[in-house]
Structure 1
Amino acid sequence: MRRIFIVVGLAVVILVGCVQKADESPAIIGKTETKTKDVEKVDIARKVYEADQSTFHFVGDWLSDSKIVFVEKDLGLYLVKTFDVETGEVELLYEDPFIITDVLIHPSKEYILLHTSDNPNSAVIKVLSIDGVIHNEISIESSELAIEWNNLDPSLILFTAFDSDWTFDTFLYNGKDELFTLVEIDGPFPKWYGTKKIITGYFDEHELDSGTLVVYNTETGSSELTDIANVVYFDTYEESILVVRIDDENNAIYTIMDLDGLIASEWKMPAVSNYSEWVFQKVTWDGPNRIFLPAPEESGELDDLTSPYHLTSIVDGQQEVLVKDITPSVLRCSPDGEKCLTGYASEKLIDLKTKEEIDWIQFRE
Structure 2
Amino acid sequence: MSHSKRNIIIKFIFQFLFLLVFASIVSACSHPQDAKPSPSEDNDKQNVPPSQPKDTWKLPIKIPEGEFYKVGSWYSDHQLLYITNLEQSSSVYLYNLLTGSSQLLYKSEVPIVTLQISPSKENILIQSSPSTYEGQVTILSPEGTEIFKQSIPSYELAFEWNPFNESEILISSFNEDWTFQMLLLDIGQRKTTELTLPQPFIKWLGNEEVAYLKWNEDSPTLFAPLIKLDLSNEAEEEIFTDVLQFATYKDILMTVTVQDDEQLQASYTFYNKEKKELYSFSIPHLSMFSGWLVPYNDLNEKKGEFITLKPVKSAEADAYREGFELVSYDIENGSSNVIMKNLKNEPILLSPSGEAALFGNRFDKLINFKTKELMELVAK
TM-score, shorter chain, exceeding 0.5? yes
Q: Which residue of 2 aligns with 1:257?
A: 271
CA contact (8 A) 1:294 1:310 kept: yes
CA contact (8 A) 1:200 1:213 kept: yes
CA contact (8 A) 1:185 1:216 kept: no
How many angstroms apart in 1 are the aligned matches of 2:350 and 2:174? 29
Structure 1 100/249 Cα, relative in aligned 2: closer, same or farther at 3 Å? same
Structure 1 228/44 Cα, relative in aligned 2: closer, same or farther at 3 Å? closer
Q: Which residue of 1 aligns with 2:247?
A: 235
Task: Report the 3-state secondary structure (helix = DSSP H, G, I; strand = E; otherwise coil) of the residue aligned with 2:318.
Answer: helix
Shift of the alpha carbon at 1:54? 6.5
Q: Which residue of 2 aligns with 1:270?
A: 284
**Greater share of helix residues, 1 or 2?**
2
User: Which amino acid in 1 is paired with 2:315?
Assistant: G
Q: Which residue of 2 aligns with 1:178?
A: 190
CA contact (8 A) 1:282 1:330 kept: yes
How many angstroms apart in 1 are the aligned matches of 2:21 and 2:156? 6
Q: Which residue of 2 aligns with 1:63?
A: 75
How many angstroms apart in 2 are the aligned matches of 1:15 and 1:178? 30
Q: Which residue of 2 aligns with 1:212?
A: 225
How many angstroms apart in 1 are the aligned matches of 2:155 and 2:59? 39
> CA offsets per residue over residues 20-42 of structure 1, 9 Å max, x none?
xxxxxxxxxxxxxxxxxxxxxxx
How many angstroms apart in 1 are the aligned matches of 2:266 and 2:75? 32
Task: Report the 3-state secondary structure (helix = DSSP H, G, I; strand = E; otherwise coil) of the residue aligned with 1:187.
Answer: coil
CA contact (8 A) 1:208 1:232 kept: no
> CA offsets per residue over residues 273-330 of structure 1, 9 Å max, x none?
1132111123212006322221211111111112121111111143221111222111
Give the RMSD, CA atoms, in angstroms: 2.5
How many angstroms apart in 1 are the aligned matches of 2:65 and 2:346? 21
**1:285 counterpart = 2:299:** yes
How many angstroms apart in 2 are the aligned matches of 1:191 and 1:260? 17
Instruction: Report percent identity of matched pairs.
Output: 27
Structure 1 195/241 Cα, relative in aligned 2: closer, same or farther at 3 Å? same
How many angstroms apart in 1 are the aligned matches of 2:57 and 2:305? 33
Q: Which residue of 2 aligns with 1:330?
A: 347
**1:102 counterpart = 2:108:** no
Structure 1 60/361 Cα, relative in aligned 2: closer, same or farther at 3 Å? same
CA contact (8 A) 1:47 1:86 kept: no
Unaligned runs of 5+ in 1: 17-42
CA contact (8 A) 2:296 2:345 kept: no
Pick aligned residue for 2:359 from 335, 342, 345: 342
Q: Which residue of 2 aligns with 1:226?
A: 238
Shift of the alpha carbon at 1:204? 2.9
Shift of the alpha carbon at 1:344? 2.8
**Greater share of strand residues, 1 or 2?**
1
User: Which amino acid in 2 is paired with 1:345?
Assistant: R
User: Which amino acid in 2 is paired with 1:323?
Assistant: M
The number of residues matched between the two structures is 334
Correspondences of 1:1-365 after superposition (within 5 Å): 5=9, 6-7=11-12, 12-14=18-20, 46-51=58-63, 55-74=67-86, 76-205=88-217, 208-220=221-233, 222-247=234-259, 248-250=261-263, 251-258=265-272, 260-287=274-301, 289-316=304-331, 317-363=334-380
Structure 1 355/45 Cα, relative in aligned 2: closer, same or farther at 3 Å? closer
How many angstroms apart in 1 are the aligned matches of 2:247 and 2:350? 17
Shift of the alpha carbon at 1:179? 3.6
Structure 1 155/227 Cα, relative in aligned 2: closer, same or farther at 3 Å? closer
Structure 1 53/87 Cα, relative in aligned 2: closer, same or farther at 3 Å? closer
